[in-house]
């Protein structure tokens, strides 16, 4: 199970390689995504707190990347954090997420991106519940729920 020390190690030295890579031009991403999805996943915007479709939803399934359909999180590890964004305790696979040191906005955080297509997802913090102690704070616009 991942812990905060693992996240810091990945942010400093890189995450395990993804199973595959998906790369598209900016024009191709714009064609595939809504304006909000593009702004969040490709330009690293953040949706307003409590505005996302998956903030309070608890339907069973896998949460996949909106850009490349890679499974990222499972509904069984989703929890109510009270922050206004969907929160998870761990990725579905060790190599599903890449971690980037983010020193924007006058603070140091760890950005989470899809390891397959580099879509901005949100950030991870060391204030989540046991057993991982992690809180993946993810934008709803960067996810789609696969209930199959």
Distance CA 94, CA 56 (A): 25
What is the tally of structural domains in the chain? 1
Domain that holds residue 129: 4-146
137 is catalytic: yes
Model pTM above 0.75: yes
pLDDT greater than 90 at residue 105: no
| Residues in a beta bridge with 124 | 110, 136
Q: How many CB atoms lie within 10 A of CB 25?
A: 8
Distance CA 99, CA 91 (A): 12
Q: Tell me which residue has tokens 């064609």.
A: 31
Is the CB of residue 115 less than 8 Å from the CB of residue 127?
no
Mean pLDDT of the chain: 96
User: What per-residue confidence (pLDDT) applies to 101?
Assistant: 94
Q: The domain spanning residue 140 has which CATH number?
A: 2.170.150.20
Distance CA 122, CA 124 (A): 7
Candidates 68, 114, 117, 137; catalytic one: 137
CA gyration radius for the chain? 14
Reported as a single tens digit per residue, the pLDDT across 35-48 is 999 999 999 999 99
């Amino acid at each position: 199970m991942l812990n905060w020390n693992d996240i810091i190690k990945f942010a400093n030295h890189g995450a395990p390689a993804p199973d595959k890579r998906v790369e598209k031009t900016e024009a191709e991403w714009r064609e595939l995504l809504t304006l909000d999805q593009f702004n969040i996943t490709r330009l690293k915007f953040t949706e307003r707190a409590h505005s996302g479709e998956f903030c309070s939803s608890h339907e069973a399934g896998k949460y996949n990347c909106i850009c490349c359909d890679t499974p990222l999180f499972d509904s069984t590890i989703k929890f109510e954090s009270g922050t206004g964004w969907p929160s998870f305790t761990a990725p579905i696979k060790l190599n599903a997420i890449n971690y980037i040191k983010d020193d924007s906005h006058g603070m140091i955080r760890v950005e989470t991106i899809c390891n397959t297509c580099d879509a901005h997802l949100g950030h991870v913090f060391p204030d989540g519940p046991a057993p991982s102690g992690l809180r993946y704070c993810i934008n709803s616009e960067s996810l789609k729920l696969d209930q199959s």
